[in-house]
Amino acid sequence: MANKHSSKAATFSKTQILSSVKFKERRDLLTVLLKDEHKYSLKEVHEEMEKFMKKRVK
């Protein structure tokens, strides 16, 4: 019997992520962090933001 739930997370383009209501407060940051040609899961977007926010200030 086939599994009804896919183990692969949905992915979104940079344009889709930037136009979403969920990320409207971080749109400026995501514009810089995300690559145009790449597709991201929501988990990846959160990880990218977290990685950036934890970087040391020079």
Q: How many domains does the chain have?
A: 1
Quote the domain boundaries for residue 23.
12-53
pLDDT beyond 70 at 9: yes
**29 vs 4 pLDDT, higher one:** 29
In a domain? residue 3: no
The three-state (H, E, C) secondary structure of 1-58, written as one string: CCCCCCCCCCCEEHHHHHCCCCCHHHHHHHHHHCCCCCEECHHHHHHHHHHHHCCCCC
Return d(Cα 29, Cα 1) in angstroms, integer: 43
In a domain? residue 4: no
In a domain? residue 21: yes
> 48, 29 in Cβ contact below 8 A?
no
pLDDT of residue 33: 96
